[in-house]
A and B are shown apart, each in its own frame.
Chain A
Amino acid sequence: MSAGRMVAAAVVTAAALAGMAALSYVPYAHEAAAGGELRLAWRARSARIEACRRRTPEELARLPVHMRQEQVCERQVAPYRLAVSLGDSVVVDRLVAAAGARADRPLYVFEELALPPGTYALHVAFIREGGAASDSAAAADPRAAPPRLALDTTVTIAAGRAALVTYDEDARRLSVVTRH
Chain B
Amino acid sequence: MPLTATLQAGARRPLARLDAWMNRLYGWRYNPLYHSGAIAAVLFLVLLVTGVYLLIFYRIGAPWDSVARMTADPWLGRWMRGVHRYASDAVVVAVAIHAFRLFAQGRSWGPRALAWITGVILLFVVFLCGWTGYVMVWDVQAQVLAEAGARLFDLVPIFAEPISRAFVGERPLPGAFFFLNLFLHIALPIALGLLVWLHVSRVARPALLPPRGLVWSGTGLLVALALAWPVAMAPEADLLRLPGRAPYDLFYAFWLPVARAMPAAAVWALTLAVGGVALLVPVWTKPRGGRRPPPSLVDERHCTGCEQCYLDCPYEAIAMIPRPAPAEGRSALVARVDPALCVSCGICAGSCAPMRVGPARRTGRDQLGRVRQFVAVARPGPADVVVVACDRGAGGVARDGAVDGVPVYAVDCAGSLHSSVIEYLVRSGAGGVLVVSCPPRDCWSREGPKWLEQRLYHEREAELLARVDRRRLRVAYAGLGEARAVRAALAALRRDVAALERAAAESDIDLVAMCEPAETAP
- List the interface of chain A (C-beta within 8 A of B): 1, 5, 8-9, 12-13, 17-18, 20-21, 23-31, 33, 35-37, 39, 41-43, 99-101, 105-106, 108, 110, 160-164, 166, 177-180
Q: Give the docked Cα–Cα distance between A162 and B168 (Å).
A: 9
Q: Give the docked Cα–Cα distance between A1 and B29 (Å).
A: 12
From B85, B86, B239, B253, A28 is in contact (CB under 8 Å) with B253
Q: Are B24 and A5 in contact (CB under 8 A)?
A: yes
* Known A33-B242, A161-B242; contact A28-B257, beta-carbon cutoff 8 A: yes
- List the interface of chain B (C-beta within 8 A of A): 24-27, 85-86, 89-90, 93, 144, 157, 160-162, 164-165, 168-172, 221, 224-225, 229, 232, 239-251, 253, 256-257, 260
Q: Are A30 and B243 in contact (CB under 8 A)?
A: yes
Q: Are A161 and B241 in contact (CB under 8 A)?
A: yes
Q: Are B249 and A177 in contact (CB under 8 A)?
A: no
Could you tell me the distance in whole angstroms from the C-beta of B477 to the nearest C-beta in chain A?
A: 16
Q: Are A33 and B241 in contact (CB under 8 A)?
A: no
Q: Give the docked Cα–Cα distance between A132 and B244 (Å).
A: 47
Could you tell me the distance in whole angstroms from the C-beta of A162 to the nearest C-beta in chain B?
A: 5
Q: Are A28 and B256 in contact (CB under 8 A)?
A: yes
From A18, A20, A41, A161, B165 is in contact (CB under 8 Å) with A41
Q: Are A23 and B250 in contact (CB under 8 A)?
A: yes
Q: Give the docked Cα–Cα distance between A106 and B160 (Å).
A: 10
Q: Which residue from chain B places its CB closest to the CB of A19 in the assembled complex?
A: B93
Specify which chain A residues have a CB less than 8 angstroms from the CB of B250 in the assembled complex: 23-24, 26
Q: Are B170 and A37 in contact (CB under 8 A)?
A: no
**B164, B169, B171 — which one has the most chain A CB atoms within 10 A of its CB?**
B169
Q: Are A26 and B242 in contact (CB under 8 A)?
A: no
* Known A20-B90, A160-B241, A166-B170; contact A9-B26, beta-carbon cutoff 8 A: yes
Q: Are B240 and A31 in contact (CB under 8 A)?
A: no
**B85, B172, B240, B257 — which one has the most chain A CB atoms within 10 A of its CB?**
B240
Specify which chain A residues have a CB less than 8 angstroms from the CB of B170 in the assembled complex: 41-42, 164, 166, 177
Q: Give the docked Cα–Cα distance between A162 and B260 (Å).
A: 18
6 additional contacts, CB 8 Å, given A30-B243, A35-B242?
A23-B249, A24-B85, A39-B168, A100-B157, A166-B168, A177-B170
Q: Which residue from chain A places its CB closest to the CB of B260 in the assembled complex?
A: A30
Could you tell me the distance in whole angstroms from the C-beta of B183 to the nearest C-beta in chain A?
A: 25
* Known A21-B86, A30-B260; contact A99-B168, beta-carbon cutoff 8 A: no
Q: Give the docked Cα–Cα distance between A163 and B202 (Å).
A: 56
Specify which chain B residues have a CB less than 8 angstroms from the CB of A110 in the assembled complex: 162, 164-165, 168
CB pairs A–B below 8 angstroms (13 shown): A17-B225, A21-B225, A26-B247, A27-B246, A28-B245, A28-B253, A30-B244, A33-B244, A41-B165, A101-B157, A161-B240, A162-B242, A180-B169
Specify which chain A residues have a CB less than 8 angstroms from the CB of B253 in the assembled complex: 28
Q: Are B93 and A20 in contact (CB under 8 A)?
A: yes
Could you tell me the distance in whole angstroms from the C-beta of B269 to the nearest C-beta in chain A?
A: 20
Q: Give the docked Cα–Cα distance between A179 and B240 (Å).
A: 6
From B160, B165, B172, B229, A21 is in contact (CB under 8 Å) with B229
Q: Which residue from chain A places its CB closest to the CB of B30 in the assembled complex?
A: A9
Specify which chain B residues have a CB less than 8 angstroms from the CB of A23 in the assembled complex: 89, 249-251
Q: Give the docked Cα–Cα distance between A67 and B522 (Å).
A: 85
Q: Are B248 and A31 in contact (CB under 8 A)?
A: no
Specify which chain A residues have a CB less than 8 angstroms from the CB of B165 in the assembled complex: 41, 43, 108, 110
Q: Give the docked Cα–Cα distance between A111 and B502 (Å).
A: 89
